[in-house]
Amino acid sequence: MKICYYPGCTLKTKAKELDAYARKAAEALGVEMEEVKDWQCCGAVYPMAKNEIATKLSAVRALDYAKHNGGKLLTLCSACHNVIKRVNDDMKNDENIRTKANNYLALEESYNGETQVIHYLEMLKNEVSFDEIAKKVVKPLNRKVGAYYGCLLLRPSGVLAFDNPENPSIIEDFIRAIGGTPVIYPFRNECCGAYVSLKNQTLPKERSAKILNSAKEKGAEEVITACPLCLYNLQVNGAGILPARYFTELLAEALGVK
C-alpha cells in the first residue's frame, strides 16, 4: 500500500526519531510512505482569526497534492495533523476561506476539501489493522505503558474526529497490539503546558510532573506520545519521573526493526 505522507519541519530536525521509526515500521508492515513533493511548513499553529488565509496556504498545497496522488494524506506530528485537518475542514465547509485560498493559489482545479487526512495511528488501526500488526510482532513489549495523548490529537473533537476526547482508546489498543499492557491514568489527555515554556517555565514543569506522576501511580513504566513538543516537555520538565518516548519507537522495537 502506498500513501502520501506529510512529515513536517520538526520531523526533519529535532524529531527525526519519530519519523525514522515510523518509516521503518511502515516498511515492515507493507506500507510505502511517499513524501509530498516540495512540501512546506504547515504553519505549526492553526490561525484563530477567521480572515487569516496566508498561513493556511501551505497546508492546502499539500492537501491538493494528495488529492491527485491517492486521495489520502498521512500525518504523524500531532501539531501538523491538527493544522492540516482543520484547514481541510475549512476548505470543505467555509466558502469564504475556500474561495480566497483557491484564488490565491490559482490551482488548475479548485481544491474543495476532497483529501482524507489520516494520522499514522489511524493508518495502523484502519488501513493495516491492529490484529495484523499483532501477528507481525517479533519482540513483544511485555511492560506497562501509559499513553499520553495531549491536546492536539483530540481537540477540537468535532473536526478532528480522532477519538473520544474525554476517554480515548486508540493508543491503548495500539499498545496491546504490540504486546504491552496499557495503563489508564487521569492526566493522559491533559495539556502538558509546552506552549507556554518560553513565557512561564514553572507551569510546564508542574504540568509535566502531574502527568508523569499520574501515570506512575497507576503502574506505568514509561509513557508514549505522538507529539514532538509534548515529548520534549515531558523529557526536559518531567524531572525524570518516567521515561517518555515516541510511539513509533515502540512499534519499531516490537516489529524488530529498531
Buried b (16+ CB within 10 A) or exposed e, 83-113: bbbbbbbbbeeeeebbebbbeeeeeeeebeb
pLDDT value, residue 130: 98
Q: Quick one: pLDDT at residue 197? A: 83
pLDDT of residue 195: 84
Confidence label for 185 from pLDDT (cuts 50, 70 and 90): very high
What span, in angstroms and rounded, lies between the C-alpha atoms of 31 and 3? 8
pLDDT at 36: 98
143, exposed or middle or buried, with CB in 10 Å at 0-12, 13-18, 19+? middle
Q: Which residues contact 132 (CB under 8 A, 6 or more apart)?
A: 29
At 237-252, the pLDDT tens digits run 999 999 999 999 999 9
Give the number of residues written for the chain: 258
CB 56 within 8 A of CB 88: no
Cβ atoms of 84 and 117 closer than 8 Å: yes
Mean pLDDT of the region 154-173: 97
The band of 51, judged by pLDDT with boundaries at 50, 70 and 90, is confident
Q: Which domains does the chain have, with CATH numbers?
A: 2-121 (1.20.1050.140), 135-255 (3.40.50.1860)
pLDDT of the residue at 138: 98
pLDDT averaged over the chain? 96
Pick from 248, 26, 6: which is nearest to 115 by CA? 6
Mean per-residue pLDDT for 141-156? 97
pLDDT tens per residue across span 194-206: 888 888 889 999 9
pLDDT tens for 82-123 read 999 999 999 999 999 999 999 999 999 999 999 999 999 999
